[in-house]
Copies of this chain bind each other. A is one copy, B any other.
Amino acid sequence: MARPVTLFTGQWADLTLETVAEKASAWGFDGLELACWGDHFEVDKALDDDAYLQSRWDILNKYGLKCFAISNHLVGQCVCDNIDARHKDILPKRIWGDGEPEGVRQRAAEEIQNTARAAKRFGVDVVNGFTGSSVWGAFYFFPPTTQAYVQAGYDDFAARWLPILDVYREEGVKFALEVHPTEIAYDLITSQRALDALSGHVSFGFNFDPSHLIHQFIDPVEFIDAFGDRIFHVHVKDSRLQLTGRSSILASHLDFGDSRRGWDFVSPGRGDVRWDPIIRALNRIGYDGPLSIEWEDSGMDREYGAPEALAMVRRQDFRPSEVAFDAAFSSD
């Protein structure tokens, strides 16, 4: 379909946007998916300062790059989470504040609303991100966990996100949750449950990313077939099982990149994701947005890996058939 291929800048936020843009352009990317951290896309400035917005486009334009979506995973995570010390490291000080959990959650919610407004002003209509979850940590049902206990987490999610999503609807922007462990939705069942909790709010959908499904043993194609009309964005990211009989699929509290983990992220094309059936499924649902490479591989130099991943996507992103073969056999 000749979909545009973009690079998600989240893993490159230690570099300036200009540096990332220069690299991505040289490698041949069509655009960037801007992370709302580092200096790549700052929501507060974007709301207040037209010049700031223009400066982002100036950089993109200078390198011939497009932008279809911005992403605010880190703040989104804090909307529903039980806040702990780790959240401090991923939030700007103005949102962390004194760290009192409910205050953090409310400021994060406000920022996610502002992210929609900033996206609108910037001229993109998709915000990717996370939602957090107050019940993620209870996924293993011990101590014995009732459905009422779990449902309270989904109700909390709805209570916090419905007002946010109404802002998105007003702005004509969609929020695309990256389905992922630690989020309110991490598989098919919980994605449906999240949708149900929101009564199917029109502004809520998914950033499809197969790397988070592979290590759960979910076929990514099943996700696309189940939620085709809610897939607002696509991440190209890969992961790989490393099961030896001694490693755990739960990863043993080991760092990414530790070879003793039961799975890990790897450069797209080197993992267990089968891309061809995914492209077919995306063709099937008519997805024509960007394929955005979220490059993460703790065992590979990212500047080696990003162009390799781009080449892989270009090889895979084929157009669907426009003829029926039977016609060729006809005697007419």
Residues of A in contact with B (beta carbons under 8 Å apart): 10-14, 37-38, 74, 77, 81, 84-93, 96, 135-147, 149-150, 180-182, 186-190, 193, 215-219, 221-222, 225-226, 242-257, 259-260, 262, 266, 270, 276-277, 280-281, 283-284, 296-302, 304-305, 308, 318-332
Contact = CB atoms under 8 A, between A and B. Distances in A.
15 contacts: A74-B329, A81-B143, A86-B138, A89-B144, A96-B331, A137-B137, A139-B253, A140-B181, A141-B255, A150-B253, A189-B253, A193-B253, A222-B246, A301-B322, A302-B321
Which are the 8 A-B pairs with shortest beta-carbon distances? A137-B137, A219-B245, A189-B252, A187-B248, A301-B319, A144-B326, A86-B143, A216-B248
B145 A86 contact: yes
Nearest to A183: B142
Given A218-B247, A320-B299, A190 B252 contact: yes
Nearest to A332: B89
A85 B82 CA distance: 14
Contact of A243 (B135, B189, B217): B217
A304 B329 contact: no
Total copies of the chain: 6
A262 B216 contact: yes
A4 to B, nearest CB: 17
A188 B325 contact: no
Contact of A217 (B182, B248, B270): B248
Contacts of A251: 139-141
A265 to B, nearest CB: 9
Contact of A257 (B81, B319, B321): B321
A10 B15 CA distance: 48
A37 to B, nearest CB: 7
A284 B299 CA distance: 9
